[in-house]
Amino acid sequence: MRVMYKGYTPPKVTNGDLRVPVTFYKSISDDGPYPTVSTKAVFTTLCELYDSSLKDIEKIDTTNSKHIVSLNFRHPHEDYNIEHSDKFKILEGLYSGIEFDVEHFSTKSDDKEMLKVVGVSYAN
Kindly list the distances between the CA atom of residue 114 and the CA atoms of 16, 42, 66, 77, 91, in Å, as whole numbers in the listed order.
Answer: 14, 19, 26, 10, 20
Q: Quick one: pLDDT at residue 2?
A: 66
Q: Quick one: pLDDT at residue 34?
A: 80
Choose between 3 and 47: higher pLDDT: 47
Residues 6+ apart with CB under 8 A from 119: 68, 69, 70, 71, 88, 100, 101, 102, 103
CATH topology (fold) of 32-121: Thrombin, subunit H (2.40.10)
Q: Region 85-112: what's the mean pLDDT? A: 88
Average pLDDT over all residues of the chain = 84
Q: Would you place residue 99 in the very low, low, confident or very high pLDDT band (cuts 50, 70, 90)? A: very high
Cα 75-104-108 angle, rounded to 5 deg: 40
Q: Quick one: pLDDT at residue 100?
A: 93
Q: Which amino acid would we find at residue 43?
A: F
**31-76 pLDDT, tens per residue?**
777 878 888 999 999 999 988 888 878 877 666 778 889 999 999 9
Q: Where are the domains of the chain?
A: 32-121
**5-18 pLDDT, tens per residue?**
677 666 677 767 78
pLDDT exceeds cutoff 80 at 90: yes
Whether residue 95 contacts residue 51, with contact meaning beta carbons closer than 8 Å, is answered with no
Whether residue 95 contacts residue 70, with contact meaning beta carbons closer than 8 Å, is answered with no
Cα 68-124-107 angle, rounded to 5 deg: 25
Q: Quick one: pLDDT at residue 37?
A: 82
